[in-house]
Amino acid sequence: HKTKRSLYPLPPGPRSLPLIGNLLQLGPTTQPHITFTSLSKTYGPIFSLQLGQVTTIVISSQKYAKQVFTNHDLALAGRHEPDAVRVQSHHEWSIAWLPPGPRWRSLRRICTTELFASQRLDSYVSLRKQKVQELLNFINKSAKEGSPVEIGPAAFTTTLNLLSRTIFSTDLAGLNSDSSQEFKKTVEGIMVEAGGPNVSDFYPVLTPLDLQGVRRRMDRFVLVLHRAFDEQIDRRIKNREEGSTAPNDLLDVLLDSNLGAEESEFRQSLKSVFGDLFAAGTDTSSNTVEWAMAELLQNPIKMAKACNELLSVIGPGREMEESNISQLPYLQAVVKETLRLHPPVPFLLPRRAQETVELGGYLIPKNAKLLVNVWAIGRDETIWPDPLKFWPERFLERDIDFKGRDFELIPFGAGRRICPGLPLAYRMVHLMLGSLLHQFEWKLPEEEAKCGVDMSEKFGVTLAMARHVKAVAIPIPGQHIR
Footprint of ligand HEM on this chain (CB under 6 A)? 95-96, 108, 163, 276-277, 280-281, 284-285, 288, 344-345, 348-349, 411-413, 417-421, 424-425, 429
- Cβ closest to ligand HEM, residue 348 vs residue 363: 348
CB of residue 339 to ligand HEM, shortest distance in Å: 6
Closest residue to ligand HEM in the complex (CB) = 421
Query: Rounded to an integer, what distance in angstroms lies between the CA atom of residue 382 and that of residue 61?
Result: 10
CB of residue 290 to ligand HEM, shortest distance in Å: 11
CB of residue 156 to ligand HEM, shortest distance in Å: 12
- Cβ closest to ligand HEM, residue 206 vs residue 418: 418
Q: What are phi and psi of 403, to 5 degrees?
A: -90, 15
CB of residue 100 to ligand HEM, shortest distance in Å: 8
- Cβ closest to ligand HEM, residue 195 vs residue 420: 420
Cβ proximity of 390 and 341 under 8 Å: yes
CB of residue 348 to ligand HEM, shortest distance in Å: 4
Q: Does 419 appear as a known binding residue?
A: yes
- Cβ closest to ligand HEM, residue 86 vs residue 141: 86
Q: What count of Cα atoms within 13 Å lies in the side-chain half-sphere of residue 376?
A: 27
- Cβ closest to ligand HEM, residue 97 vs residue 203: 97
- Cβ closest to ligand HEM, residue 215 vs residue 340: 340
Separation of first and last alpha carbons in the chain = 66
Give the residue from 187, 126, 140 showing the smallest Cα distance to 160: 187
CB of residue 349 to ligand HEM, shortest distance in Å: 4
- Cβ closest to ligand HEM, residue 105 vs residue 144: 105
- Cβ closest to ligand HEM, residue 11 vs residue 420: 420
Per the annotation, where are the binding residues for heme? 419
Per the annotation, where are the binding residues? 419
